[in-house]
Amino acid sequence: MTFMLAGPAVYVLWLSFTVSNFGQNPQFVGWQNYAAILTDRYFWTAAWNTFIVVNAVVYIELLLAVLVALVVASLKTGRMLMFAVVLVPYGISEVVGVLSWRFLADPSIGLITNTLALIGIDFNWTLNPEAALVLITTISIWHHLPFSFVIIYAAIISVPNELYEAARVDGATKWQEFWLITAPIIVPAALLAIIFRYVFAFRMFSEVWLVTQGGPIRLTEVLGTYLYRTGFRYSDFGGAAATGWLMVLGSLLLAAIYLRAIYRSAFRDA
């Protein structure tokens, strides 16, 4: 079992120190691949874009998930229906999601673009890399909100109703109810959601590939597309493997504060 766990990881590590032809006939080259990547300015654009997009996705999505979960949990009728409605995007293929958003935000005919134009905002993601990253972030949040939502929602509805009733008897306001009862329950769930989303958002590939392919002139590249381009377009599997390792390290590093928080709270309980 340990071999199975370590197998692929070590193999990627080994590949990252070699030069090969699509992974065949690897020749050992030491740190050369890492040096090549770390001096490639496209890598740094990709890393910076990933950093910005991942952070935006994780925190905006968490905020939305909490708000949506609070609204859905407070409904008296139609709760199941709304639960289902919120989950819809998770069952949709990334390709169809991107197709819809790309058309909605089409520079010349899109519904969103035209509406924004009415209030004087020019949104053209085909020319402007920042706009493209905004679109990519939006699509990613749209697609994955159900994931964070389920985690937070499960935590919110696990609070027994008596707790709220007792608080009301004691004369707590709605605001106090939220901060003193609901919020402490949400925090551990939110930590979990943040860790998972850091790890999952870091591997972002299809949204970017399907919207811009990393262009114009590789300005909207993220680490996922950088890895793909290095490995499969420039047939540099060593470089791709090295990027892969840097990606895994990066996501763990970003999630480290939260991992530590979870570790400590588990430790305190034990």
Partner 1 sequence: MRKFIGRFGKALAVGLISVWSLFPIAYVVLNAFKQHRDIFVFPPDVIFTPTFDNFISIAEVYPQFFGYMLNSLLISVSATLVCVVASALAGYVYSRFRGKALAASAFYLVAIRLLPPLVITIPLFPWVNILGLADTYWVLIALYAAFWLPLNVLIMKEFIDQIPRSLDESAIIDGASEWQLLRHIILPLSAQGMVACAVFVFVFSWNEYVYAFIFTIQNAKTTPLVLAEIMDSVTGTNYGVLFAAATIQLIPVVLLVLVLQRQLVAGLTAGAVKG
Identify the bridge partners of residue 21 per DSSP, sorted by sequence position: 24, 236
Specify the stretch interacting with partner 1 by CB under 8 A; choose among 49-57, 94-102, 161-169, 262-270.
94-102
Interface characters, 220-239, with partner 1 (x: CB under 8 A): ----x--xx--xx----x--
Of the chain, the end-to-end C-alpha distance in Å amounts to 27
Q: What is the DSSP letter of 76?
A: S
Interface characters, 132-171, with partner 1 (x: CB under 8 A): ----------x-------xx--x-----------------
Of 223, 222, 226, 227, the closest CA to residue 241 belongs to 227
Cβ 175 vs Cβ 88: under 8 Å: no
Question: Quick check: 208 binds partner 1 (CB under 8 A)?
Answer: no
Residues between 46 and 85 that touch partner 1 (CB under 8 A): 67-68, 71-72, 74-75, 80, 82, 84-85
Tokens of 205: 């590939």
Specify the stretch interacting with partner 1 by CB under 8 A; choose among 36-44, 55-63, 175-183, 244-252.
244-252
Tokens of 133: 């990253």
Specify the stretch interacting with partner 1 by CB under 8 A; choose among 42-50, 51-59, 91-99, 256-264.
91-99
Residues at the site binding partner 1, with contacts judged by CB under 8 A: 1-2, 4-5, 8-9, 11-12, 15, 20, 22-24, 67-68, 71-72, 74-75, 80, 82, 84-86, 88-89, 91-104, 109, 111, 114, 142, 150-151, 154, 192, 199, 202-203, 205-206, 209-210, 224, 227-228, 231-232, 237, 240-241, 244-245, 247-248
